[in-house]
Amino acid sequence: MSEGIRKRGKTWSYYFDGAMVDGKRNKIEKGGFKTSKEAQEARTAAMNEYNNTGRTFSPKEVSVADYLDYWLENAIKKNIDHGYSYRTYCDYESKIRIHLKPAFGIYRLSTFQYAPDKIQEWIDDMKNRGFSKSMIKNTLTCLQGALNYAIMPLKYTQNNPCLPVEVGKMPVDMDAKAHAEYVLTKEDYQEIIERFPPSSYFNISLVLPYNAGTRIGETFAIDLLSDVNFKTHEIIINKQMQKEEHTWYMKSPKYDSYRTIKIGKTLEDALKEVIRNRRKNQMKLGGTFLKTYIMPDKSIAQIRADVKVMHQEIMPLCTKENGELVTPESFKYCARVIHWELGNPLFHSHALRHTHGTILAENGVNPKTVMERLGHKDITTTLQTYTFNTEVMQQKAVDVFETAFNN
C-alpha cells in the first residue's frame, strides 16, 4: 500500500491507497497543510476513518462518550425536520453533556452493553440528589435510544443495558403536578383577557389556543392570509414557529400533526379584528411597515414594505403596530405578568391548550375527535393527558348512577 506525505510548493499533502474501483487503484489525497506534522496527523486520522468505513473510531474500542457524540451528530442532528426537531436535538445534547457523559463516558461501548447495574446505580444516585422522576426517565430514554441505535442499524452491540433497569416509585411533586394539570376557570381566563385586551398584540395569542387548542408554536405560526378560511369556518394547522440558534423558522408541526379544525364565532371575530387592525397599521405607516416573508430555507425574514421582495409573504398572527414579529419567546412576558401581577403562579403557555381539551372532555366530546383536533400522536395521549376523569366527570358519573338507581 502506497501512503505518505509530500511537499508541493509551500504546503504539505498526504496520500494513501483506497479500495480498488473498477479494477483501478483509488488514491486518496488532500493538501493545503502548513507543516509536515499537520499533514502526518491528518493522514493518520483520515486513514483511521477510512478503514472504519467512514467512522472516526473503531466500534470495538470506542468509548460511550465518543459514541454518544457520534449518535447525536449522525442519528439526531442530521435528521432534524425528518423525525426530530431542533428542540429535541438541544435537549439530547444537554442531557448527554450534563448527565450521561460524566456518568458513563469513560466505559467502552462494547462492555457497557453488559452493565445494567451501572445504569441502575446512576438512577438511584439521581433520585438521591433530588432530580425529578420525569427528568430521570427522559434522560434514560435518551440513553436507551442511543444504545438501540448501536444495536440496529449499526450492529456494534447486541444488548441494551437500559432495558432491565427501573426508575421505580418516587414521591409525587404536588406543586409540579398542580402546575402540569392546571385548568383555567372562566374567571381566570376573563381576568387574563382583561389584562391583555384586544388592543394588546398578545391578546390573540391567548384567545386562539383557548378556543382552538393549538400548541404555542402552532399558534404563532398561523398565517392570517392563507391559514384561516372564514367561509368554511376553519383554521389550517400546517406548521410551527421554532427557533434555531438566533433565527426563527417555519417547521412542520409536532408529530407531523397537519390538520384542519373548525372554529367558532368568538375566535372568528377576534381574527377578523386582528386583520383589520393590521391593514390599518400598514396603511398608516406605509413604507416603514415591516412585512414578513418565508425564505427558501423556511427562515422568517422581516423587510420594510417599500422594499420589493420576491419571496412568500405571510401575515403573522402576532405583530406589534409597526409589523415587528411577536414570537413564542415573547410569550414569556405574558406568563410573568399573569404570575406576578394577576397572582396566578400556575399559569403556563400550555395551560390554554390543556383547558381547551379538558372543556371538550368534560362536555362529552368523543376522545377521537379531541385527539384529531389537538393533533395528538395517538389516542393514548388524549386519554392520559386531557383526562377523561376530571372532578366534573366523576360527579357526572355519580349523578348518572343515582338517576338510574332511583328510577
**What confidence score (pLDDT) does residue 55 get?**
62
Rounded (10°) angle between helices 133-151 and 64-71:
90
Q: Are 213 and 374 in contact (CB under 8 A)?
A: yes
Q: Which three cell numbers stand for residue 129?
A: 440528589
Q: Which three cell numbers stand for residue 25?
A: 487503484
pLDDT score of 213 more than 60: yes
**What confidence score (pLDDT) does residue 395 get?**
78
**What confidence score (pLDDT) does residue 220 get?**
97
Q: What is the pLDDT of residues 343-362, one digit of tens each?
A: 999 999 899 999 999 999 88
Q: Please count the residues of the chain.
A: 407
pLDDT score of 327 more than 90: yes
CA trace torsion 384, 387, 393, 398 (10° rounding) = 30
**What confidence score (pLDDT) does residue 179 get?**
80
**What confidence score (pLDDT) does residue 84 get?**
85
Task: Find, among 69, 152, 59, 54, the residue nearest to 104 by Cα.
Answer: 69
**What confidence score (pLDDT) does residue 243 get?**
93
- What is the percentage of the chain residues whose pLDDT exceeds 70? 95
**What confidence score (pLDDT) does residue 375 get?**
94
Half-sphere exposure of 346 (CA within 13 A, CB side): 18
C-alpha 322/C-alpha 346 separation (Å) is 33
C-alpha 340/C-alpha 346 separation (Å) is 11
Task: Find, among 386, 384, 355, 389, the residue nearest to 370 by Cα.
Answer: 386
**What confidence score (pLDDT) does residue 27 get?**
82
C-alpha 178/C-alpha 170 separation (Å) is 17
Pairing of β 240-244 and β 290-294: unpaired
**What confidence score (pLDDT) does residue 386 get?**
65
**CATH second-level architecture of 64-171?**
Orthogonal Bundle (1.10)
**What confidence score (pLDDT) does residue 57 get?**
62
**What confidence score (pLDDT) does residue 347 get?**
95
Residue with more model confidence, 376 or 22: 376
The Cβ of residue 247 has, within 10 Å, a number of other Cβ atoms equal to: 13
Cα–Cα distances (Å) from 374 to 335, 362, 386, in that order, read: 22, 15, 10
Reported as a pLDDT band with limits 50, 70 and 90, residue 23 is: low
Q: What is the pLDDT of residues 87-126, one digit of tens each?
A: 899 999 999 999 999 999 999 999 999 999 999 999 999 9
The Cβ of residue 223 has, within 10 Å, a number of other Cβ atoms equal to: 19
Rounded (10°) angle between helices 203-212 and 186-195:
160
C-alpha 157/C-alpha 117 separation (Å) is 17
Residue with more model confidence, 47 or 267: 267
φ, ψ of residue 108 to 5 degrees: the values are -75, 140
C-alpha 290/C-alpha 310 separation (Å) is 15
| pLDDT, average across residues 261-284 | 97
| Average pLDDT value for the chain | 90
> 399: part of which helix (H) or strand (E)?
helix 391-406
Reported as a pLDDT band with limits 50, 70 and 90, residue 136 is: very high
**What confidence score (pLDDT) does residue 45 get?**
82
Pairing of β 259-262 and β 234-237: antiparallel
Q: Are 314 and 325 in contact (CB under 8 A)?
A: no
Lowest mean pLDDT among 55-64, 77-86, 97-106: 55-64
The Cβ of residue 168 has, within 10 Å, a number of other Cβ atoms equal to: 11
Long-range Cβ pairs for the range 238-243 (8 Å, 24+): 240/215, 241/217, 241/300, 241/327, 241/328, 242/85, 242/86, 242/87, 242/217, 243/86, 243/327, 243/328, 243/329
* Cis before 153? omega within 30: yes
**What confidence score (pLDDT) does residue 50 get?**
74
**What confidence score (pLDDT) does residue 3 get?**
83
First to last CA, the chain: 94
Q: Are 61 and 108 in contact (CB under 8 A)?
A: yes
- pTM for this entry: 0.75
